[in-house]
Structure 1
Amino acid sequence: MGTDCSDAPEVRTMSSVHPPGLDPDLLRGHLDRERPGLVSGPLEARLIEGGRSNLTYVVSDGVRRWVVRRPPLGHVLATAHDMKREHRVISALHPTAVPVPEPVLLCEDHSVIGSSFYVMEYVEGTPYRTAEQLAPLGADRTRAAVLGLVDTLVDLHAVDPGAVGLGDFGRPEGFLDRQLRRWGKQLDASRNRELAGIDELHSALGRTLPDSPSATVVHGDYRLDNVLIGPDDDIRAVLDWEMSTLGDPLTDLGLLVMYSSDLDLPESPVSTTSGAAGHPTPAELIERYGARSGRDTSAISWYTAFAWFKLAVILEGIHYRYTLGQTVGGGFDRIGGLVPVFIEHGLTTLQEG
């Protein structure tokens, strides 16, 4: 959505040519029917480049701006690109302390733009993806922004799912076991080479499953570049809810800790922000979360090791598609070399825990 960061994904203006996947005229017609008076002029649409999954557009009538989200073009797994699910969770969370864009409209009629989609308010802010992007903020502002990320996660996990209409949003019973089996199957689907330690890590995680605390709404991909930071270093909006469900809240914390760890890989296409001056250490993030949430974080090593395992599986899947010639763009040739690094981090984290 909004961005003022020079290295953030490019936003291309598409005036006479419609961006792929969205016809502004058809969208306006639908909005005029469903929300009369919302739009005051012809719509122009811009595709936000750089997204990994669902497509995101900024649309404007020259006076106001909104954001449209739709599934990717081509083959779509309905469960992975469920617009109704994303719209439902931000609608439920909008009245709470969790900052999310205000939902405007959900459309499940594929005849409008060729797929389901939803519209939400446009929020100004910056998604910081790298330590280099954080550098201009300086140490104090960087620290405040990242600690705010933890505080917002505590707010999310404090929401009573039943009270906001999300009591049936997932199946928290057996959540960790299902997650581990799911990612094990994902690994098996991408196997075309030997990966030392990956099966050992998977098995060790299975033998040491922690007891989950009470289920909460979990984001599923919680990290700094999935939020918009405002000019006062406050979190204006949490984005990309496609992986959200009801489950173990410490999976969100484990993933955040992993993304805040130092990979010591300057050429890595997987970005972390840990090298920025003032960035809190993983231990500080864990301590702040525990102090503010009241949850026991003594098993966080398991959750962090699980995050390393998931990312190893995701990267191996990308590497597998690269070997089949199914990737487009640069950097994919380096992905395969990262997988053993993630496996090693996972094993070390689990052993040290």
Structure 2
Amino acid sequence: MEEMNRIPEEVVAGNGAITANEEPIEAVAQETDVAVEVPEVEPVAAEQAEEPAEEAVGDADGAEEKSTQTPQRTRTAPPQIRLDRRHILDDGNDLVMANMPVDTQRREIRQMEMAIAAGTVCYGRIIAVEEVDHKYVRIIVKRDTLRIVIPAEDFFYHSDMKDIEKATDDERFIRYRRKASHMLEAAVSFLPKGIGYDEDGIPFVIASRKQAMDKLQELHFFGPRADVHVGSVAKASIVSTGPRYVTVECLGIESVIGTGGLSAFAYIEDASQEFHVGEGLMVAVEKLDVDKENRTIDISLSHALIERSEAKVEMANEKMMNGRYIASVVAVLPKYYVVIIKGLKVRGLIPLENYNGVDPLLVGDDVVMLVTGINKERNMAIGRCIKA
């Protein structure tokens, strides 16, 4: 209080504050015959009066800033409006369809109850990864308006996570959380087990991804009517990506497809830039080994196989001899550069001495390749090159 009422002895001229040389306010009132109410000011201690003027200037500036602040506005809650759902107005428009949100949710709950009763596998998109007491991870999937909850241990049961069974609880927590964070927006399968309601009355579904994938594996691989074989084509869901691979869910299994199996037309430098989580991908079964007794599946999926078969991709042939092609360096060996000819998906081999340049080539460099030889068995071209 004393600090606020104190009048500094010296103030920089021009900022509108009273200085020590100005006349007292009582004298001004007497000369002008104007009644002025003078507030009582507590006496200022001597040591406070001798404080430097710079501090006083700071106080005056601070007071000026405070005086210019805009007063906060108080917001009032909007008035509560009660909807008249008993009498929905109708203007006779029979060309459009519309439903009340509560009716839509009730229909979705009925459909989910039917799926629970029938044991039907459903699909949804991952929208969140939640922690419980910093000990457990749960995956949140959205199906229409319903929230699907799946524990991480169940969710990743069929995922390839090396030595996860040997990890401690803390290590599992970190690995589950990290892996799930890369799968946001992925479309995954689940088997609904029950419906509950939270404290706000919002419905949610407890589900199992493991049981859904078990059921799909029994149908397509282990059962009496198993229908998967080498050459089978299916639609896969991309659940995660990396620079050199994508992971897909398909027919109840998770499988990794390397960049070589993603395209038959071009060299893919970074798969995560070309393919995205949540997208679909047509794949073909390239290799398959099913052990029904031990219930294991060894499978290799390929998108490039479909492109080669459907689009009739050109292979290495005599017409390429003495031709010049643009290619990308994919590997540097002790004696050779390995390249991919763009547009053809044909691998090229260039001896180091056949490179006409100053600086050594690096992975990712583009070159112009002169084809001087063909190896049909390996679908490979041999030749010389210069840097593009």
TM-score normalised according to structure 2 size: 0.23
Greater gyration radius? 2
Write 1 or 2 for the structure with the bigger share of helix.
Answer: 1
TM-score normalised according to structure 1 size: 0.24
User: Could you say which structure has the greater relative contact order, defined with CA pairs below 8 angstroms and 6 or more residues apart?
Assistant: 1
Write 1 or 2 for the structure with the bigger share of strand.
Answer: 2
